[in-house]
Structure 1
Amino acid sequence: MLEPAKRYSGYRSYEYLEAGTDYRVFDLVPELGRVPAYEGLSLDSAQRDRVAKLLSENIVVSLHEHPSVFPTDIRQTPDYNRSARHHTGFEGLARSGMTVVFDNLMDGTCCITSQMGWKWNDVVADIGMRLSDLAHQDYLVKVERLSDIHEAHDSGRMGLVLGLEASTMIENEVDRIDMLYGFGVRQMGIAYSESNTLGSGLKEKSDGGLTLFGEKAVTRMNKLGIAIDISHSGDITCLDTIRHSTKPILITHAGARGVWPTNRMKTDETIKAAAERGGVIGLEAAPHTTLSPAHPLHSLDSVMDHFTYCVDLVGIDHVAFGPDTLFGDHVGLHDTFAEHLSLNEAHHGVPYDKVPYVDGLENPAECFWNIISWLVVHGYSDDEIRKVVGGNVLRVLEEVWH
Structure 2
Amino acid sequence: MIIDGLQCGHFDRAAFETLLAGTVGGVVNTCGFWEGAIESMDSIGRWRDLVRENSDIAEIALTADDISRISGEGKLAIIMGFQNANLFQGRIRFVEMFAELGVRVVQLTYNNQNELGGSCYEVEDSGLARFGREVIREMNAAGILVDCSHVGDRTTLDAIKVSEKPIAVTHANAQSLFFHKRNKSDDVIRALRDTGGVIGCAAYRNITGDEYCASIEAWCTMVARKVDIAGIDSVAIGTDKSHNFAAPDYAWMRKGRWTRGEDYGASAAGKPLKAAPPEWFQKVEDIKVIPDGLRAVGFSEEEVAKITHKNWLRLYEATFRKP
TM-score w.r.t. structure 1 length? 0.72
Residue 273 (1) aligns with residue 210 (2) = no
Residue 60 (1) aligns with residue 2 (2) = yes
Whether the 8 Å contact between 1:235 and 1:266 is mirrored in structure 2 is yes
Equivalent of 2:313, from 377, 382, 394? Answer: 394
Matches within 5 A, 1:132-171: 132-138=49-55, 139-171=57-89
Distance between the aligned counterparts of 2:90 and 2:76, measured in 1? 35
Distance between the aligned counterparts of 1:330 and 1:324, measured in 2? 16
Matches within 5 A, 1:341-352: 344=264, 346=266
Whether the 8 Å contact between 1:323 and 1:361 is mirrored in structure 2 is no
Partner of 1:245: 163
Whether the 8 Å contact between 1:189 and 1:232 is mirrored in structure 2 is yes
Partner of 2:38: 121
Look up the equivalent residue of 1:366 and give its one-letter code. D
| CA shift for structure 1 position 346 | 4.2
**Root mean square deviation of aligned Cα:** 2.7
| CA shift for structure 1 position 336 | 7.5
Distance between the aligned counterparts of 1:337 and 1:164, measured in 2? 12
Partner of 1:382: 301
Distance between the aligned counterparts of 1:370 and 1:66, measured in 2? 20
Spell out, residue by residue over 1:347-379, the C-alpha distance to the aligned partner (whole angstroms, 9 max, x if none). Answer: 689x99x95332222443221x12112112223
Whether the 8 Å contact between 1:239 and 1:270 is mirrored in structure 2 is yes
Partner of 2:27: 101
Distance between the aligned counterparts of 2:37 and 2:2, measured in 1? 32
Unaligned runs of 5+ in 1: 1-58, 70-85, 109-116
Spell out, residue by residue over 1:273-307, the C-alpha distance to the aligned partner (whole angstroms, 9 max, x if none). Answer: 01100011100112311116xx1766645543431
Distance between the aligned counterparts of 1:88 and 1:179, measured in 2? 31
- After superposition, the Cα gap between the structure-2 partners of 1:141 and 1:398, relative to the gap in structure 1 and judged at 3 Å, is same
Of stretches 260-269 and 91-100 in structure 1, the one that deviates more from structure 2 is: 91-100
Look up the equivalent residue of 2:303 and give its one-letter code. E
Whether the 8 Å contact between 1:286 and 1:330 is mirrored in structure 2 is no
**1:201 alignment partner, SS class:** coil
Partner of 1:358: 278
Aligned length: 315
Look up the equivalent residue of 2:154 and give its one-letter code. I
Whether the 8 Å contact between 1:227 and 1:401 is mirrored in structure 2 is yes
Whether the 8 Å contact between 1:193 and 1:233 is mirrored in structure 2 is yes
Whether the 8 Å contact between 1:325 and 1:363 is mirrored in structure 2 is no
Distance between the aligned counterparts of 1:280 and 1:331, measured in 2? 32
Matches within 5 A, 1:180-219: 180-219=98-137
- After superposition, the Cα gap between the structure-2 partners of 1:347 and 1:156, relative to the gap in structure 1 and judged at 3 Å, is closer
Look up the equivalent residue of 2:27 and give its one-letter code. V
| CA shift for structure 1 position 68 | 2.9
State the identity as a percent: 25
| CA shift for structure 1 position 337 | 4.8
- After superposition, the Cα gap between the structure-2 partners of 1:355 and 1:324, relative to the gap in structure 1 and judged at 3 Å, is closer
Spell out, residue by residue over 1:77-119, the C-alpha distance to the aligned partner (whole angstroms, 9 max, x if none). Answer: xxxxxxxxx77622212312111111113x33xxxxxxxx322
TM-score w.r.t. structure 2 length? 0.88
**2:255 alignment partner, SS class:** helix
| CA shift for structure 1 position 160 | 0.7
Look up the equivalent residue of 1:68 and give its one-letter code. H
- After superposition, the Cα gap between the structure-2 partners of 1:376 and 1:343, relative to the gap in structure 1 and judged at 3 Å, is farther
Higher helix share: 2
Look up the equivalent residue of 1:90 and give its one-letter code. F
Matches within 5 A, 1:298-309: 300=216, 303-309=219-225
Look up the equivalent residue of 1:104 and give its one-letter code. T
Distance between the aligned counterparts of 2:247 and 2:293, measured in 1? 24
Spell out, residue by residue over 1:145-197, the C-alpha distance to the aligned partner (whole angstroms, 9 max, x if none). Answer: 12211221332222110011111231210111112111100111110101111
Structure with larger Rg: 1
Distance between the aligned counterparts of 2:4 and 2:263, measured in 1? 23
- After superposition, the Cα gap between the structure-2 partners of 1:302 and 1:232, relative to the gap in structure 1 and judged at 3 Å, is farther
Unaligned runs of 5+ in 2: none
Partner of 2:93: 175
Look up the equivalent residue of 2:278 and give its one-letter code. V
Residue 254 (1) aligns with residue 169 (2) = no
